[in-house]
Amino acid sequence: DAGVIQSPRHEVTEMGQEVTLRCKPISGHNSLFWYRQTMMRGLELLIYFNNNVPIDDSGMPEDRFSAKMPNASFSTLKIQPSEPRDSAVYFCASSLTQGRRQPQHFGDGTRLSIL
Amino acid sequence: GQNIDQPTEMTATEGAIVQINCTYQTSGFNGLFWYQQHAGEAPTFLSYNVLDGLEEKGRFSSFLSRSKGYSYLLLKELQMKDSASYLCAVRENEAGTALIFGKGTTLSVSS
């Protein structure tokens, strides 16, 4: 079975540009999570969705960040305008909502560098 | 507030046993997860505990004490491929809600 698929794997762009990260969750999973990982702060939750509805976006740093989930098989995380401090690895993860043993399954991440 | 503490780094030799500790303070508790993350890769699920006690899965075991806010991951018969970062994560609420991650413990296994 295909796992969580993220694109692009790497993105290098200049500050001020718009960046769009994409995620396809595992088929049948109804929870989707966006995390950001840096050396300093570790893995931090940005936002998560249940059944395509945003539940908690308190981790989104500021208005420059936005996320959407238009359907059960696709989500985007957008940064506009991007800044050098946004450089990090962005992970998408998905899980089932039912069953407390259900772990989150992570995609391979997008390594973002803002120059 | 929320706080999950793990040692930053640990070293061990092949064939040895290592224990990675995790302490947590969260507003709720509905399970503790351990993940393994090799450099440059995604975290992968290792174990889950929600009741006190030991869960064993091959060379890896995980222990939980809810009253102490404490867990450990035990790795036996260490192999070079076990060199990775090990992340402790707590879920405060019901299934389908977010995890709070510790910063991870980087384990280096030498021959």
On whether any CB of chain A is under 8 Å from the CB of B102, the answer is: yes
d(CA B29, CA B90): 7
Decide if B65 contacts B51 (C-beta within 8 A). no
How confident is the model over B47-56, as pLDDT tens digits?
A: 999 999 999 9
On whether any CB of chain A is under 8 Å from the CB of B30, the answer is: yes
Q: Give the SS3 label for residue A97.
A: coil
On whether any CB of chain A is under 8 Å from the CB of B39, the answer is: no
pLDDT category at A102 given cuts 50, 70, 90 is confident
- B31, B94, B101: residue with CB nearest A42: B101
Chain B residue nearest residue A108, CA to CA: B42
Backbone angles phi, psi at B43, to 5 degrees: -65, 140
Cα distance from A18 to chain B (closest Cα, Å)?
A: 24
d(CA B50, CA B26): 14
Residue B96: pLDDT over 80: no
Both tokens assigned to B24: 């947590």
Residue B106: pLDDT over 80: yes
How confident is the model over A23-72, as pLDDT tens digits?
A: 999 999 999 999 999 999 999 999 999 999 999 999 998 899 999 999 99
Decide if A104 contacts A37 (C-beta within 8 A). no
d(CA B97, CA A54): 11
Amino acid at A84: P
Greatest Cα pair distance in chain B:
42
Give the pLDDT score at A1.
65
Decide if B102 contacts A37 (C-beta within 8 A). no
